[in-house]
Structure 1
Amino acid sequence: MSSIKSKPRSVGRLLRIALGVFLLGLFGYALLPGVVFSQYPVGRVNAELVTLRAPIEGQISFGDVRVGDRVQRGQTLATLRDPPERDVRLANLEAQNDSLGERIAGLRQQIAALEPFALRLAQQSRTFRDAVVNNLTAQIAEAEARLRQAEANARLLDAQLKRVAPLAAKNYASGAELDRRRAEADVAQAELAAQRQTLGRLRQERAAAEQGVYLSDSYNNAPYSEQRRDEVNLQRLTLETRLADLIAEQGQVQRQIEAERRRREQMGEAVIQSPVDGILWRQLESNDSTIGISAPLAQVADCSRIFFEVARDRRSDETLSLGDSVVVEFERNGQMARYNARMVGLRSDQDADRREFALAGGTGSDQIRWIFAVEFEEAAEACPIGRTGRLRHSNTLIDQIGRRLAG
């Protein structure tokens, strides 16, 4: 009888113990999950972005790849060509060069047209000079003849004066005769001096005429042909100066054309290729837009560099250090898979690192984001950006005690 009563009592005690354990577990799971039970933080898969920039200035034309498409390393994503205004600049330089060429040809024609005119005027000047020199030579010959005649007449009258003077002193000749002879001798000497002056003047005029300078007032120091030749020479000198300026300007324009053509050959077109295997994540410029050099064009999510991000409380950021190895778990190819990962960074709104990720991770003021580089043993068939998973790293009180005992 007593054995029958003790059996239900032991069963009730076991039920009460089981119920107590269940309530204790439920209480620990609800209120103390980080102390007793293993808690695996939830995170998401992310990837580093690679920004493509324009190597030259130009007009961009994107290919058939659209945002979200998979791309391969070396695949052409866009093409940059010189903007249309570059073609206008080259066309303007070439038109300016043609215009300068026409002006240079016109000046050369004007200079060539002045040549025969200047030669004709020079010939007329030489003919006039020869005529003047010949005329003065004839006048000099006449003056020399008159000078010789004046010298002979002066000698004759001087001899007569010398014969009359003794006779007048002896009263064989009258005083009037002596005065007349003396006057005639003085006149002859004056005539002789005048002829010498005339001869000297004519010789000076001939010497000047041989040098192209005419002393007669009627010539104004130069004949009309000589004046016209000087005007033509001055006009030709002016045209030659303008021609030299235009040739120098044309040379400068031609150097600019050559430099522009070399620039177009070297940098007239650039092909933008994907530097990594990944996903075209963002297109930063519209098609057919004109952009400047180094302008960002697009961003590619690098699928070869997959990261796993976990938002954690700052108070727990000392449980892991940079370089620590962990295990992450997320879906891949339709099933959950585990991968080795290594902690490579910490991010927060206050102290974010410089790398740019495909998915922006917002964190609270008291949170920090752990970043783990996932190690794939083989190339990923798909780029799992945005998929959620778990960090296989428990930080319960039991785990902490175990790690301390192991340390």
Structure 2
Amino acid sequence: MNINVQNFVRARSTRLVLAASLIAIGAVGFAPYVFNDVSTQAAINAPLIRLSAPVDGTVADLPADGRYFAKASSIRLLDLSQDTGEVADLAAAADLAQAQIDLAQRQLSELRSEEQRLEKRASAFNAATSARLSEDRGAALADLNGCQAERTQQAATLARVRKLAREGFMSPAAVEKAEAAATRTSNECSSAASKLRSIEVTEKAARAGVFIGDSYNDAPYATQQADRLMLQRQIIEKTLNDATAQHTQAELRLKDALGRASYRAPAGTLIWAATASSGAAVRAGEPILDLVDCRRRFVQVALPERKAEAIVPGGPADVRLIGSDRWMKGRISSISGAASRREERLLAASTHSKPDAREIIVDVSLSAPAPEAFDASRRCDVGRLAEVRFSRTI
């Protein structure tokens, strides 16, 4: 039996099979490096969402680091007090504007009551003045009619006196006396007619709202007071409009400030680190919380610069976490040279692949699974080393 085993091991065919197996295993192991450009100097990275204080306030009770949001959720960043800071200023501005609105509305209500009272007084004055002028016109017309009748009588008397004087029955003195009486009556009738026309002019003006009296008052006192109240009302209405606009603006700014005290984290994000402690006082603009966007994970890989033309943006790439057998599909998003500046402050992990001279940096974005498919306990695998393969054109 031992001789058979030794003969089998020493057989030429056995050695050929063993050699072929070793060559096949080596070929399988080196095949990816033949048909692909492979780099193991890469790590899973993702952008940070840095949340800052919108206004002065106190940091609220923040979620714990590593908490994952599989669906959109609200995060309260600040506890805003109504007594201090910008919120207090906005609330005070809104209260002040509301007080001005209330005062203006009370003033307008009082002005409307006063205007109604003056309108009644002016209406009563107009009616009384029209009635008085109508009576004056009637009296003047009666006086004119009486005067005209008397003038007719005086004219007849003067004619008889002149006839009797021509016949010698009346003296010239009597004629002169009759002529003087007739002239006086005619003048009185002219005066009565002028007075009647004056009353008619005054009455016509009164119907148009103009009351002829002295040289500077063409309207009753109530009407003049109503005009002054109208000007005051216009001023108060402008004040009311300005106060309403200020109140609306203050309320909107206050609502915006209170709204910005919270942030709605999108699905697929994770609490990376808190940059401020709960209960600490912060100023507007100071960072409070960093979230990592697991939906936008990527890797950066350094490749020789001679590969710059072979690597095409938008091309496919395969990514595997070190220690894992599962390959993930990726897509080349950008290519930059070794001299390009890189900003890492808003990245969750440090750039693991540092380019040397004559190397390029290739960014590979990973396809995002459904938010509920991420393993929150692994913090979306951010920072883990990875192997990246690019298909080589032969």
TM-score (norm 2): 0.58
**Within the alignment, does 1:359 sit opposite 2:350 as a pair?**
yes
**Within the alignment, does 1:109 sit opposite 2:92 as a pair?**
no
1:271 matched residue in structure 2 = 263
1:271: how far off?
A: 3.2
1:206: how far off?
A: 3.3
| The one of 200, 208, 211 aligned to 1:207 | 200
1:236: how far off?
A: 2.7
1:33 matched residue in structure 2 = none
Q: 1:318 to 1:253 in 2, by over 3 A?
A: closer
CA contact (8 A) 2:100 2:240 kept: no
CA offset digits 1:298-317 (Å, max 9, x no partner):
252749957484x5554588
2:22 matched residue in structure 1 = none
User: Aligned partners of 2:197, 2:224: CA distance in 1, in Å?
Assistant: 27
Cα RMSD after superposing both structures: 5.4
2:3 matched residue in structure 1 = none
Report matched runs for 1:388-399 at 5 Å: none
Report matched runs for 1:218-257 at 5 Å: 220=214, 227-249=220-242, 252-253=245-246, 256=249
Q: 1:289 to 1:371 in 2, by over 3 A?
A: same
CA contact (8 A) 2:274 2:290 kept: yes
Deviates more, 1:272-281 or 1:192-201: 272-281
Q: Given residue 365 of structure 1, which amino acid in structure 2 is its aligned partner?
A: A
Q: Which has the greater radius of gyration?
A: 1
Q: Given residue 359 of structure 1, which amino acid in structure 2 is its aligned partner?
A: S
User: Aligned partners of 1:89, 1:341: CA distance in 2, in Å?
Assistant: 52
User: Aligned partners of 1:306, 1:132: CA distance in 2, in Å?
Assistant: 99
1:398 matched residue in structure 2 = none
User: Aligned partners of 1:239, 1:390: CA distance in 2, in Å?
Assistant: 81
**Within the alignment, does 1:73 sit opposite 2:69 as a pair?**
yes
| The one of 266, 290, 305 aligned to 2:284 | 290
SS in structure 1 at match of 2:233 = helix
Report matched runs for 1:310-325 at 5 Å: 311=302, 313-314=304-305, 323=316
SS in structure 2 at match of 1:70 = coil
Report matched runs for 1:25-36 at 5 Å: none
User: Aligned partners of 1:271, 1:97: CA distance in 2, in Å?
Assistant: 30
Q: Given residue 157 of structure 1, which amino acid in structure 2 is its aligned partner?
A: L
User: Aligned partners of 1:250, 1:220: CA distance in 2, in Å?
Assistant: 43
1:235: how far off?
A: 2.2
CA contact (8 A) 1:55 1:270 kept: no
CA offset digits 1:42-74 (Å, max 9, x no partner):
8445112133266995578475456xx433233
TM-score (norm 1): 0.57
Q: 1:210 to 1:339 in 2, by over 3 A?
A: closer
The aligned length equals: 330
Residue segments in structure 1 that go unaligned for 5+ positions in a row: 1-39, 168-172, 394-402
1:150: how far off?
A: 3.6
CA offset digits 1:73-117 (Å, max 9, x no partner):
338694346975356335423431322221331243245246546
| The one of 46, 50, 62 aligned to 2:43 | 46
User: Aligned partners of 1:237, 1:140: CA distance in 2, in Å?
Assistant: 40
User: Aligned partners of 2:101, 2:178: CA distance in 1, in Å?
Assistant: 80
**Within the alignment, does 1:191 sit opposite 2:191 as a pair?**
no
Q: Given residue 191 of structure 1, which amino acid in structure 2 is its aligned partner?
A: R
User: Aligned partners of 2:327, 2:196: CA distance in 1, in Å?
Assistant: 121
Residue segments in structure 2 that go unaligned for 5+ positions in a row: 1-36, 207-211, 368-372
Q: Given residue 363 of structure 1, which amino acid in structure 2 is its aligned partner?
A: P
1:191: how far off?
A: 2.1
SS in structure 1 at match of 2:69 = coil
1:161: how far off?
A: 1.0
Q: Given residue 88 of structure 1, which amino acid in structure 2 is its aligned partner?
A: D
1:10 matched residue in structure 2 = none
**Within the alignment, does 1:280 sit opposite 2:269 as a pair?**
no
SS in structure 1 at match of 2:49 = strand
User: Aligned partners of 1:342, 1:318: CA distance in 2, in Å?
Assistant: 21
1:7 matched residue in structure 2 = none
User: Aligned partners of 1:135, 1:227: CA distance in 2, in Å?
Assistant: 19
1:151 matched residue in structure 2 = 152
User: Aligned partners of 2:328, 2:296: CA distance in 1, in Å?
Assistant: 14
Q: 1:287 to 1:52 in 2, by over 3 A?
A: farther
CA contact (8 A) 1:78 1:273 kept: yes
1:21 matched residue in structure 2 = none
1:194: how far off?
A: 0.7
1:245: how far off?
A: 3.2
Q: 1:132 to 1:222 in 2, by over 3 A?
A: farther
Q: 1:87 to 1:243 in 2, by over 3 A?
A: same
Q: 1:88 to 1:308 in 2, by over 3 A?
A: closer
Q: 1:184 to 1:237 in 2, by over 3 A?
A: same
1:155: how far off?
A: 0.8
CA contact (8 A) 1:48 1:305 kept: yes
